[in-house]
Amino acid sequence: MSDEQPFIHPYIPNSVPEVKERMLQEIGVRSIDELYADIPERLRFAGRMNLPEPLVSEAALKRHVEKILSRNRSCAESLSFLGGGCWPHYVPAVCDEINRRSEFLTAYAGEPYEDHGRFQSLFEYESMMAELLDMDVVNVPTFDWCQAASTSIRMAGRITKRYEALVCDTIGPDRLQVMQNYCRGMMSIVPVRHDAVTGLMDLNDLAARFTESTAAVYFENPSYLGFLETQGHQIAAIAHARGGLSVVGVDPISLGVIAPPSHYGADIICGDVQPLGVHMNFGGGQGGFIATRDEEKFVMEYPSRLFGIAKTAVEGEWGFGDVAYDRTSFGVREKGKEFVGTAAALWGITAGVYLALMGPQGMEDIGRHILQKSQYAMKKIGGIAGVRTPRFQSAHFKEFVVDFTSTGKTVAEINEALLDRGIFGGKDLNGDFPELANHALYCVTEVHTKEDIDTLVGALEEVLR
Amino acid sequence: MTSEKKRKIQGEPPAEKPVRLRAFHQAKWDEEIIFELSTKGERGILMPAVEPAIEEEIGDGISAIPENLRRKAQPALPEISQMRVLKHYLRLSQQNLGADLNVDIGQGTCTIKYNPKINDVLAASPKVAELHPLQSESTIQGALEILYKTDLFLREISGLDRFSFQPASGSAAILAMASIIQAFHESRSEGKVRDEVITTIFSHPSDAAAAAVKGYKVITIHQTEDGLPDIEALRRSISKRTAGLLITNPEDTGIFNPKIDEITRLVRDAGGLCGYDQANANGILGMTRAREAGFDMCFFNLHKTFGTPHGCGGPACGALGVGANLVDYLPVPLVDFDGEKYHLRFDLRHTIGKIRSFYGVFPVVLKAFAWISSLGERGLREAANIAVLNNNYILEKVKRIRGASAPFARGRHRIEQVRYSWEELTRDTGVTTEDITLRMADFGFHLWSSHHPFIVPEPFTIEPTESYSKAELDEYLAALEKVAGEAYADPSLVKGAPYRSVVHRIDHSWFDDPAQWAITWRAYQKKHVQPNPAGSQPRR
């Protein structure tokens, strides 16, 4: 294609020379270049961007990109037991149908009039999450669990006017890193030890570290390592007795069978909506939620949008809008609470669709299903000679640590051999936790059949023979 | 001979069709709140049953959970059959005016352009949707290639040396830049001394707010009469305490700052780092770059400039680029290529760690990769040029609308957007920007005001991008002119709007009152629904 020919790309209508000409006339200039008069020569980029020739035909573009993508081997083509912050769950077709609708997919920041649907669906998301969490306030989603936990801790710092957070040392490495960067210079993140046998928080260590500077204690249910923290009440009691808050991260898909943290004293709850109807997307499906009681001192510390319901000029008509907008950085820039902007709204809408489909019985069913499947997997994997699981002697949900120390093989070697058999083994914990050098984190959900688990066990036996 | 034929013979362009203002009415389903659709016992979807052999071997699964951790009562979620759930959300979608249906030029600063459908198709592939981020590198070579090559593309577009796609929005990228500024100075033992970040009032609110999250004192430079940041005030604000600069250019006024390199030089000479907020890059692709302007870092919003959908407010990507001196500070991992294979690289000496889990929002990066691949170097320049052409066309026309004006830089051209004002119209008629935005909804259009604070009185911001045809721009302008005319002829008409949108004027009185605000349905029930002795819930 020569530069003399007009370049009329399907995405750019006004490249048509006659149209362009007419618009230039209307503006009163001879060329588009005149419109750039404010950019001085010294700031002009004189060269050419070294980009590949354009794939102007959609067919050629599709072929090109699909060829690259063909070098991926996805979990749909394999048997995967990976979790660790991004989990395989069944995604109902209606979830995809809704989040692929142009009206939602391509919308952004319309007013609560022409974008009434966005406001209502996110209000309903907040409302259904509130039922699941048994809390009265839930935000429009932030980026992911990492961000939700980081913001929860900063909220706790502002509410208590203290600058330190105690964090369970079984937290996942990504989450800890995000938290540390987000709090750096403003709040310190202090680890609390876990019991070597059960994995549960060491309450003596917690009590010893809890000082007058401690804003909150943060733990997770299930933990990153899959076990359930059963001492929620005691942890909250220690925090509350000393003027601090209890902040709990939770996997929402467990809450049909597991008590929500609000039932054991949590003041702020956070977590990720990805399990609720969002594909894994190579880690792109995450969306963070934060929930609290409906108390002004909590609500006013959210940085997020909070969509509330309202009346309109017409009797019986619902409207929606921003609650307490002036606490946000949109309202008052650096004087607002942290910052707000684009995050993961579409995944919030999707999670709402998921909860509406599942209903109370569906959430109980899936929770029970995951318990049964993961317990079966633990039992069978634990039955392999030299393999120990669960590594922590506690109740688990969905994920569990497998100890391969006595097998004489490293997790890397085992996973390599499993891969040859079409299986993605659990996440190698080597490097993440010093005591878990030759351990792996396995994830089993409702997407796994008994046959899948038996296949894994058979392959492991073969590999470890 | 008709005049039309005569034109054709004389080689003149054909006469334009008169602009038709459509008799619009948005869908209004008067749709219930989802809890009102619940019928006990209905099911929306069923999960597979657990195999009997597992039941037999394991039992109910719940017995293994300590009593105190079991949920005692089911969550009070609605119970709705599948088609009804679908219908509910489809109706809500019809009550939402996505860009695909709209001439969405009224949301300035946000670059609402066409989001090619083919890119959505590609991202929906199981090769993307069912990919797990912790898979072995050998099984994710395609994804790593996309990340690596998009990095190469953005290096060309910015002149910088390395990109990370981990920040999941522009604000997250600003936070990452502020984090790098902090880590950089700390690594040189200047972290405590350098505690100020400079930004400008027409840069995005997050340029100020995300810096404050990192503990920085924020200095905000206001504009002078020409609409550009007061460079003397900036000079005075620079000191040994200056950690860095976070600035947009063009700012939200659409005026390109010709002294941007002077500003970066001042800050760099004082030992600060310069971060370029390129959320407003759509008009300058291939024309001017972060490199030439003297920046250490920049970011692009892939969901704006690079054509990926906004998703009602994410998921998104603020692609963060740095010069060679700061590569070591980027969040981990980066993607390397050894000539044969792609690898994740974690060993960055000064890394700020993580800004988000995993590698950011991969499907968004994929869509941006496809967008750039479709356009190439010439297409990118064309997109920028036409975006600027469209914007100046709109500017020319808006200036002719009674009551509207374009403050600052009079007689000069703008880049990709303009912050306008209804100040005169408000003074003449009492009709405000908010009134006009609501009346525009009656014509099927969205019009936004502006970020706070309102430096420009009664502001509105239009950014037409390259995506809309002249006929569509004319239609939008006709609606704007019509509404302005109505304001002069019958202000109460505009003040009562909207009439043909989904709902009527919203009563804001609950939103700032803790006793009345209701952020969830259950909070609404507690605060506003009187207990009903008969036990049935009143509808509204």
**For the domain that residue B408 is a member of, what is the CATH number?**
3.90.1150.10
Residue B15 belongs to a domain: no
Domain containing B212 — which CATH number?
3.40.640.10
User: Which among A112, A353, A360 has the least Cβ separation from residue B74?
Assistant: A360
For residue A252 the two structure tokens come to 């929402």
Residue B385 and residue B369 share a domain = no
Render pLDDT for B406-447 as a digit per residue (tens, 0 to 9): 999 999 999 999 999 999 999 999 999 999 999 999 999 999
Phi-psi region of A316 (alpha: psi -120 to 50; beta: other; left: phi over 0): left
- The DSSP output letter for A434 is G
**Residue spans in chain A of domains classed CATH 3.40.640.10:** 93-354
Instruction: Tell me how far apart the alpha carbons of residues A435 and A320 are, in angstroms, rounded to a whole number.
Output: 51
Q: Which of A1, A44, A132, A282 to mutate to test the interface with B (most CBs of B within 10 A)?
A: A282
Comparing CA positions, the residue from A182, A178, A190 lying closest to residue A215 is A190
Q: Are residues B299 and B211 in the same domain?
A: yes
Taking residue B109's Cβ as centre, other Cβ atoms within 10 Å add up to 23
Q: Which of residues 2-21 of A touch B (CB under 8 A)?
A: 3, 7, 9, 11-15, 18-21
Nearest CA in chain A to B354: A178
Instruction: Look up residue A178 and give its DSSP letter.
Output: H
Residue B128 · residue B366 · CB < 8 Å? yes
**Residue B310 falls within a domain, yes or no?**
yes
Find residues 399-438 of chain A whose CB sits inside 8 Å of chain B.
Answer: 415-416, 419, 424, 427
Are B384 and B290 contained in the same domain? no
Residues A255-303 have pLDDT tens digits of: 999 999 999 999 999 999 999 999 999 999 999 999 999 999 999 999 9
CA angle at residue B402 from B399 to B408, to 5 degrees?
Answer: 35
**Average pLDDT of every residue of chain B:** 95
- Give the per-residue pLDDT at B18: 85
Distance, in angstroms, between A288 CA and closest chain B CA? 11
Q: pLDDT value at position A5? A: 81
Contacts of B383 in chain A (CB under 8 A): 9, 11-12
Give residue A1's pLDDT: 42
More confident site: A331 or A99: A99
- The mean pLDDT of B126-148, rounded to a whole number, is 98
SS3 B272: coil
Kindly report, as residue ranges, where domains of CATH 3.90.1150.10 are found in chain A. 76-89+361-464
Nearest to B68 by CA among A348, A186, A260, A384: A260
- Total tally of structural domains belonging to chain B: 4
Inspect the interface and report whether the beta carbons of B145 and A71 lie closer than 8 Å.
Answer: yes
Bond before B333 cis per omega within 30 degrees:
yes
Counting every residue written for chain A, the total comes to 465
Same domain, B266 and B327: yes
Please indicate, yes or no, if residue B347 is contained in any of the structural domains: yes
Q: What percent of chain B has pLDDT over 90?
A: 94
Last residue of a domain, one of B373, B392, B427: B373
Domain end among B345, B373, B401? B373
pLDDT of residue B14: 61
A15-70 tens-digit pLDDT = 999 999 999 999 999 999 999 999 999 999 999 999 999 999 999 999 999 999 99
Residues B390, B354 share a domain: no
The residues in A 135-154 lying below 8 A from B, measured between CB atoms, are: 136-138, 140-141, 143-147, 154
pLDDT category at A376 given cuts 50, 70, 90 is very high
Which regions of B356-505 does DSSP assign to beta strands (E)? 418-421, 459-462
Q: What is the C-alpha R_g of chain A?
A: 26
B4 — pLDDT class (breaks 50, 70, 90): low
CB contact (8 A) between residue B129 and residue A136: no
Q: Tell me how close the Cα of B3 comes to any Cα of chain A, in angstroms.
A: 18
**Signed CA dihedral, A414, A420, A426, A428: sign only:** positive
Query: Quick one: how many helices (H) and strands (E) in chain B?
Result: 17, 11
- Model pLDDT, residue A439: 98
The answer to whether B75 contacts A280, with C-beta atoms less than 8 Å apart, is no
Backbone Cα Rg of chain B: 27
Q: What is the pLDDT of residue B9?
A: 52
On whether the CB atoms of residues A387 and A378 are closer than 8 A, the answer is: no
Contacts of B388 in chain A (CB under 8 A): 32, 35-36
What pLDDT, on the 0 to 100 scale, is given for residue B531?
66
Q: Using the beta-carbon criterion (under 8 Å), do A361 and B135 form an inter-chain contact?
A: no
DSSP string, B59-97: TTSGGGS-GGGB-SS--------HHHHHHHHHHHHHTS-
Residue B504 CB burial class (10 angstroms; 0-12, 13-18, ≥19): middle
Q: Which structural domain, as residue segments, surrounds residue B521?
A: 513-540
Which residues of B, range 461-520, sit inside 8 Å of A by Cβ? 466-470, 498, 501-512, 514, 517-520
In this structure, is residue B447 part of a structural domain? yes
d(CA A87, CA A89) in angstroms, rounded, equals 6
Q: Which two tokens stand for residue A147?
A: 């961000």
Ramachandran area for residue A348 (φ above 0: left; ψ -120 to 50: alpha; else beta): alpha
Quickly list H helices, A307-410: 329-332, 345-382
Closest CA to A343 of B168, B309, B368: B168
Q: What is the mean pLDDT of chain A?
A: 97
B-contacting residues in A 249-278 (Cβ below 8 Å): 255-260, 263-264
Q: B271 by DSSP, 3-state: which? A: coil
- Are B397 and B525 in the same domain? no
pLDDT, greater one: A194 or A6:
A194
Distance from C-alpha of B48 to C-alpha of A455, rounded to nearest angstrom? 19
What are the tens digits of pLDDT across the range B494-538?
Answer: 999 999 999 999 999 999 999 999 999 999 999 999 665 444 444
| Helix (H/G/I), strand (E/B), else coil: A251 | coil
Which residues of chain B have a CB within 8 Å of the CB of A14?
A: 386, 389-390, 466, 469-470
Q: How many CA atoms lie within 13 A of A25 on its CB side?
A: 7
Rounded distance between C-alpha atoms, residue A347 and residue A331, angstroms: 25
Structure tokens at A47: 């060269």
Percentage of chain A beyond pLDDT 90 is 98
B532 within some domain: yes
Instruction: Please tell me the distance from the alpha carbon of residue A61 to that of residue A52, in angstroms, as a whole number.
Output: 12
d(CA A112, CA B90): 17
Does B168 contact A143 at a Cβ distance shorter than 8 Å? yes
C-beta neighbour count of A110 within 10 angstroms: 28
Nearest chain B Cα distance for residue A435, angstroms: 21
Helix axes A116-133, A345-382, angle to 10 degrees: 30
Q: Does domain A76-89+361-464 have CATH number 3.65.10.10?
A: no
pLDDT in tens, B321-363: 999 999 999 999 999 999 999 999 999 999 999 999 999 999 9
Give the C-alpha separation, B88 to B351, whole Å. Answer: 46
8 Å CB contact between B331 and B354 = yes
Residue A4: what residue type?
Answer: E
**Contact criterion met (CB < 8 Å) for A321 and B511:** yes
Is residue B127 in some structural domain?
no
Same domain as B523, residue B460: no
CB of A305 closer than 8 Å to CB of A139: yes
Nearest to A343 by CA among B527, B355, B34: B355
Contacts 24+ apart (CB under 8 A), A410-413: A410/A438, A411/A438, A411/A439, A411/A440
- The two tokens of residue B473 are 């721009």
Work out the angle at residue B284's Cα, subtended by the Cα atoms of residues B283 and B285, and round it to the nearest 5 degrees. Answer: 105
Tokens standing for B285? 């692709």
Strand partners of residue B164 = B320
Q: Does domain A93-354 have CATH number 3.40.640.10?
A: yes
pLDDT given for residue B533 in this prediction: 47
C-alpha–C-alpha distance, residues B481 and B390, integer Å: 17
Question: Is residue B245 pLDDT above 50, yes or no?
Answer: yes
**Same-domain pairing of B485 and B517:** no
- Give the global pTM: 0.97
Q: Per-residue pLDDT for B389 more than 90?
A: yes
CA-based nearest residue to B221, from B208, B212, B230: B230
pLDDT (tens digit per residue) in A178-226? 999 999 989 999 999 999 999 999 999 999 999 999 999 999 999 999 9
Instruction: Find out whether the peptide bond into A6 is cis, omega within 30 degrees of 0.
Output: no
Asked, for residue B507, whether it belongs to a domain, the answer is no
Do residues B250 and B332 both lie within one domain? yes
Structure tokens at A300: 């006013």
> For position B16, what pLDDT does the model report?
75
**3-state percent breakdown (helix, strand, coil) of chain A, nearest 5:** 45, 15, 40
Q: Are residues B273 and B357 in the same domain?
A: yes
Judge if B209 and B336 occupy the same domain.
Answer: yes
CB contact under 8 A, A36 and B413: yes
One domain, residues B403 and B298: no
Residue A244 backbone phi and psi in degrees, to 5: -105, 180
Instruction: Please check whether residue B315 is in contact with residue B114, taking contact to mean a CB–CB distance below 8 angstroms.
Output: no
